[in-house]
Structure 1
Amino acid sequence: MQDQRSNASSPMQSMQSVQSTSPDSAAPLREHYTNIVLPIWRGPGFNTSLGLAYEAVAPGDQAPLPPKRYRAMACARQLFVFSEAGDLAHAATLFESLRHYFQDKRNGGWFYSVDASGAPLERQKDLYTHAFVVFASAHYAKKSGSAEAFALLDETSRLIEARFSTGGDLLNAVLAEDFGATLETPLQNPLMHLAEAWLAAREATGDPAYDKRLAQLAQSVADAFVHQPSGAIAELPMGAAGNRLEPGHQFEWYFLALGSGHAAFEAAGLNDRLVRAFDFAQQHGVDQETGGVYAALDETGRVIDGTQRIWAQTEYLRALATRGDAVGEQIARFRARFLHETGWVECRSAEGEITRAEMPSTTPYHLATSYAALPV
């Protein structure tokens, strides 16, 4: 999405005045994103002295919340956002900040976070973080042609394979700073984002090595995480205590597998299962009155966490569009409940109350990926 700023006196008035080209048009969402969301992270949400986006800003005046840390994943998501927005100058600043602050020169890989002054804080090696480094570097490399970004995504992908392996096909979620100890065994969410990252890397590089990586990843998820009665992909390996099914992740996996059309997911038997998972999540995990997507279900479909987070709403929109379903009504519901004239609502309760008002720097990634898949 290009940065085409409106000359309208009020961004929200401009948003409301957009004439949709079809009943399902997402033009008002894109207008809001361009005129309201992106300027936050070039302006008040960006720490110019460090070259990093603040972790979150306030919903009214968009003032940054006092920083306690900066996460590598958040920096990577901002790199993706501005690469896709066509603002390659800002993206280049973020790419340099990512390498400067978060790359572990001694042990390899990427620190989880740095403190308010930019010194390494949480030093563990987190697969979720590494996946987003690959994802963002792939998008930046494709848009900019940066040789450094191409090299970085290849280097990080090789490190993931070598260091995060469990000894089988699955990958551990968190390792110690020196990769010497396993702090968290395999989890669904990092693996999903690694699939997203390797899809982006395959597209950016054309390297068939990513086809092999995706095939192994898809098969390992199919073998360990699929809840057979519903087809849903669980958060923990099946049989683990306290497992749950997140509707938002079913919609996200649906887009990644069926939206990409990559053969790895079909070969692993995930596509048919995800069609069933979509239906299960839509039936049990979406409030029929408001269209709000709940946070988590148990294996029977009972709601165990009724929180409605904005990212899950964006994944529902993206999955609906991927299926070819009419999305106009859901776009209108989402816009009314989660967007406002100074930004967005991060979380609502099942009853509709705002439970998280501040706006994290990580959320524009969700908006951008969703809006890109919606009708023009």
Structure 2
Amino acid sequence: MTRWTDLPTHRAWLQQHAESLLAFGRRTAAPGGGAYWLDAVGRPETARGVQTWITGRTVHVYSLGALLGIPGARDVAQGALDGLVGPDAPLRDVEHGGWYGTVLPDGTHSEGKEAYQHAFVVLAATSAVRAGLDGARELLDEATEVYLERFWDDDAGLAVDTWDTAFTTLDPYRGVNANMHSVEAMLAAADVTGDPAWLRRAARIAEFVVGQAKGHEWRIPEHFGPDWVPDLELNRDRPDDPFKPFGATVGHGLEWARLLLHLEAALDGVGLSSHADLHLAAVGLFDRAVADGWDADGAPGFVYTTDWEGKPVVRQRMHWVVAEGVNTAAALQARAVRAGDEAAADRYAGLYARWWDYADRHVLDHEHGSWFHELDPANQPAGTVWPGKADLYHAFQSTLVPRLPLAPSMATAVAEGLLRP
């Protein structure tokens, strides 16, 4: 069969789409530093203030744009980065360290410091270093120090989740979402710093998650107490929570599968290994997510969440889930080709093409640009969980992952000229 990622015409389409996404988000940088949430047509929603996770993702995406040589991308990346580094950076807590979650237009900030947000600061810093942004190395040094001091629990081999603003009281909740993005950031940090300790930390997180998923038929428990015992009932009464939904999150099964493949390749590259069979786990997670989530209710698309038997709970279609679907299908295809398993490579290539067709028909906004961030169960645009088009992170990465090797990490690979034209 024809594999789309082998076609120069498809890779050219991915590049064109990447450039259109960067054009859509060109107004995201805030005048005083940081990045805004964008509405459905790409206008900044200034009343929301600037948020650390969106700012970190914006620095990452537009640093990649700068590395690709896209005019204007560096200015957006630098404008967002200025919200994170330096004495006047609005999101940086000069008194207590770390970064506020949100700073509103009146200067007030949200309470608490979250590992999820800080993982994106680390990722942003690594990409900014590769792009040569002003203050990037300073940010990387500070972000890795804060992360290791405040969020990394070396005894558990996992990241804790949320502190109060002053880093005096640790919330008892523990979460896998923050650890997932920590793995992503750790892979990038290992490449930029040259320190393999980041890969060892990432492997410890991955081994825990693989063990938990394997014990639940490859559905990942997301929520835990302070002793790392899963709380499978959390938010049953609020199942569509944007960050802590009840049940198994289909898209995270896909995303974890891809990250495990990146981790396997990164470990192989420096002569390290994992105690878990990362490829076997990636296949298990992917197959479970597809079986549970794709076309699960009679309509095309991935449902957001399921219960622990695989029954759909929240049936909205989130843009990031299909983005992770195409990314992971491409990664598994590349892994299968490397192993000489042509039948598996063809299977993943077929799913990759099917999901891009779905995205083109339902998720890409051909009128205003970018992707609809949420669709209802009938695949019509909705905004009950994710109004507007907050950022470009998932959509933009889906234009690069199919053209990059599994290792090194994204910004390093682009900087080293490893992107397939």
Q: Deviations over 1:51-102 (max 9, x none)?
A: 443212233xx44335133211111111111100013233222211222011
Decide which of 363, 369, 374 is 1:338's aligned counterpart.
363
Confirm whether residue 38 of structure 1 aligns to residue 22 of structure 2.
Answer: yes
Note the residue ranges of structure 1 that are not aligned, 5 or more in a row: 1-18
Alpha-carbon deviation of 1:319? 0.6
Shifted more, 168-177 versus 295-304: the winner is 168-177
Decide which of 245, 251, 256 is 2:254's aligned counterpart.
251
Q: Deviations over 1:236-274 (max 9, x none)?
A: 246414252111111111111113423378423444223
Structure 1 residues 145, 197: closer, same or farther in 2, change over 3 A? same
Q: Deviations over 1:146-184 (max 9, x none)?
A: 5x4234223322322222255633322111011111235
Give SS of 2:203's match. Answer: helix
Confirm whether residue 360 of structure 1 aligns to residue 348 of structure 2.
Answer: no
Shifted more, 302-311 versus 261-270: the winner is 261-270
Alpha-carbon deviation of 1:226? 2.4
Decide which of 278, 286, 292 is 2:286's aligned counterpart.
278
State the aligned residue count: 349
Please give the alpha-carbon distance, in whole angstroms, between the structure 1 residues aligned to 2:133 and 2:33.
21
2:310 corresponds in structure 1 to 301
Structure 1 residues 257, 265: closer, same or farther in 2, change over 3 A? farther
Give the residue type in structure 1 aligned to 2:373: E
Decide which of 90, 93, 108 is 2:97's aligned counterpart.
108
Structure 1 residues 46, 211: closer, same or farther in 2, change over 3 A? closer
Structure 1 residues 165, 206: closer, same or farther in 2, change over 3 A? closer
Asked whether the 8 Å contact 1:83–1:140 carries over to 2, the reply is yes
Asked whether the 8 Å contact 1:234–1:245 carries over to 2, the reply is yes
Please give the alpha-carbon distance, in whole angstroms, between the structure 2 residues aligned to 1:218 and 1:281.
17
Please give the alpha-carbon distance, in whole angstroms, between the structure 2 residues aligned to 1:361 and 1:347.
11
Bigger strand share: 1
2:402 corresponds in structure 1 to 374
Equivalences for residues 230-245 of structure 1 within 5 A: 230-237=217-224, 239-242=230-233, 244-245=247-248
Asked whether the 8 Å contact 1:41–1:361 carries over to 2, the reply is no
Equivalences for residues 1-376 of structure 1 within 5 A: 22=7, 25=10, 27-35=12-20, 37-43=21-27, 45-47=28-30, 49-59=31-41, 62-86=42-66, 87-99=73-85, 100-117=89-106, 119-144=107-132, 148-165=135-152, 168-223=156-211, 225-237=212-224, 239-242=230-233, 244-260=247-263, 261-263=265-267, 266-287=274-295, 291-324=300-333, 325-326=348-349, 327-339=352-364, 340-343=366-369, 344-356=371-383, 358-362=387-391, 364-375=392-403
Note the residue ranges of structure 2 that are not aligned, 5 or more in a row: 67-72, 234-245, 334-347, 404-420
Alpha-carbon deviation of 1:187? 0.4
Asked whether the 8 Å contact 1:58–1:359 carries over to 2, the reply is yes
Alpha-carbon deviation of 1:310? 0.3
Give SS of 1:221's match. Answer: helix
Structure 1 residues 58, 368: closer, same or farther in 2, change over 3 A? closer
Give the residue type in structure 2 aligned to 1:341: E
Give SS of 1:304's match. Answer: coil
Please give the alpha-carbon distance, in whole angstroms, between the structure 2 residues aligned to 1:205 and 1:163.
20
Identity %: 25
Alpha-carbon deviation of 1:130? 0.4
Structure 1 residues 254, 335: closer, same or farther in 2, change over 3 A? same
Runs of 4+ off more than 6 Å: none
Structure 1 residues 94, 269: closer, same or farther in 2, change over 3 A? same
Structure 1 residues 358, 38: closer, same or farther in 2, change over 3 A? farther
Asked whether the 8 Å contact 1:138–1:204 carries over to 2, the reply is yes
Alpha-carbon deviation of 1:315? 0.1
Give SS of 2:382's match. Answer: strand
Give the residue type in structure 1 aligned to 2:184: E
Structure 1 residues 328, 169: closer, same or farther in 2, change over 3 A? closer
Structure 1 residues 20, 137: closer, same or farther in 2, change over 3 A? closer
Please give the alpha-carbon distance, in whole angstroms, between the structure 1 residues aligned to 2:140 and 2:13.
34
